[in-house]
Amino acid sequence: QQQVKQSPQSLIVQKGGIPIINCAYENTAFDYFPWYQQFPGKGPALLIAIRPDVSEKKEGRFTISFNKSAKQFSLHIMDSQPGDSATYFCAAGRNTDKLIFGTGTRLQVFP
C-alpha cells in the first residue's frame, strides 16, 4: 500500500522529443505528488508537484498529468534538451509526512 511504482527504468530520446515517465500508487490517502530531478553527485531537486484536486499542472516545459481514478500520474518533458539528461523520481506523500519514492528513471537526451 505504501509503494510507488515507476516506469520505465531508463529512457533515451532525441533532442526535441517528449519523454514520458509514469508512476502508480496504491494509498488513496496520498495528497501530494512531487517529481524530483537528480544529477550525478547532487541531491534531488524539486521539479514540479501536483495535488489530487487538479488533473494537470504545467511549469515551463514540464507537465504533470494526474488520473485520480486510476491512481496514476506522469511527467511529460516538452522539447527535451540534452541538459535534461538526469534521473527523475516521482514520489507520493500525505500532508507533511515522509515521501514514498519511485525507483527512478534515467533519462538520456541526445543532440
Q: Applying CB under 8 A, which residues contact other proteins?
A: 6, 32, 34, 36, 41-46, 49, 89, 91, 93, 95-104
- From the list 92, 90, 87, the residue with the least C-alpha distance to 102 is 90
Instruction: Name the residue nearer to other proteins (CB basis): 32 or 62.
Output: 32
- How far apart CA 7 and CA 75 sit, in angstroms, is 11
Q: Which three cell numbers mark 19?
A: 519523454
- How far apart CA 33 and CA 51 sit, in angstroms, is 6
Q: Which three cell numbers mark 47?
A: 521539479
User: Beta strand 33-38 with 45-50: parallel, antiparallel or unpaired?
Assistant: antiparallel
Instruction: Name the residue nearer to other proteins (CB basis): 1 or 98.
Output: 98
Instruction: Name the residue nearer to other proteins (CB basis): 20 or 48.
Output: 48
Q: Is residue 3 helix, strand or coil?
A: coil
